[in-house]
Amino acid sequence: MDFSITELILVGLIFMWAGFVRTGLGFGGAALGLPLMLLVGASPVYWLPIIGLHLLFFSSLTLFKSIRQVDWCYLRRSLLWIIPPTLVGVFGLLSLPDKVMIVFVYSITIFYSIIWIFNQKITSHQPWVDKLLLILGGYVAGTSLTGAPLIVTVYMRHVAKEYLRNTLFVLWFILVGIKMSTFVAFGVMIDWQLSLSLIPIAVIGHVIGLKLHQRIIENDDLFKRWVGGALLLVSSFGVLKVVM
């Protein structure tokens, strides 16, 4: 892609934001960043490999000193329900038209936004609902890497708070590894130059997110309400841009 200087500055700010969200919340970097990237231009298939490379890099950094704080037992059990729909989602991403995928991404984001604005929560109190959310989250993660809020709902019930973020980072690492391997196998173009050049910028957001993680968690509802309102406007505009 040939971006203008203004567009490159916007892309840098978006990836800084995605890095901040990823470590600040422990999830959601792609879910809260991809809709903004699509407004700048290109398709999900262009942006997702870049997001994936960043997620692999930053997940490794975060886990380097805390790999022991991972709930491996629940992670293994949940992967049985997450990986198969993730693979289906990846193949859907590669086969469906770009416009369909863009509308799908914005629609999922609008759904999250409305939930956050009205301070509603996706909840589960039954094992079969847990499995359904893991399956749906795996599929959405496979198509657009935006399935985190669905999966996190289940993980919060089964993983101790002090293990949650690191367990999620291992999960994202596995899912993105599958996705990136599929991209390489099918010859998807990966913009390595842009990916690498954005890492130092994303590091700024990553570090800020690490420092503010506890404060964000303590003000989780307020943070999500403001972010939800902004994403609702962005995603609504994005959908209108595609369909009109």
The structural domain count of the chain equals 1
Q: Which pLDDT score is estimated for 132?
A: 94
Instruction: Judge contact between 154 and 134, C-beta under 8 A.
Output: yes
Question: What pTM does this model have?
Answer: 0.84
| pLDDT one-digit tens code per residue, 94-147 | 888 888 888 888 888 888 889 888 888 777 778 899 999 999 999 998 888 788
- Could you count the other beta carbons within 10 Å of the beta carbon of residue 241? 12
| pLDDT one-digit tens code per residue, 201-232 | 988 988 888 787 777 777 777 777 888 888 88
Q: Which pLDDT score is estimated for 13?
A: 92
- Highest-confidence segment of 61-65, 92-96, 145-149: 92-96
Helix, strand, or coil (residue 159): coil
Q: Which pLDDT score is estimated for 143?
A: 87
Contacts of residue 46, defined as CB under 8 A and 6 or more positions apart, other chains included, come to: 1, 189, 191
| pLDDT one-digit tens code per residue, 1-53 | 678 899 999 999 999 988 888 777 766 677 778 888 988 887 888 998 998 88
Quote the CA–CA distance of 77 and 158 in Å, as a whole number: 11
| pLDDT one-digit tens code per residue, 167-206 | 988 898 899 898 889 888 888 888 989 999 999 998 898 8
By CB atoms closer than 10 A (0-12, 13-18, 19+), residue 178 is middle
Domain range enclosing 57: 5-243
Buried-state track 101-138, b at ≥16 Cβ within 10 A, e below 16? bbbbbbebbbebbeebbeeeebebeeeeebbebbbbbb
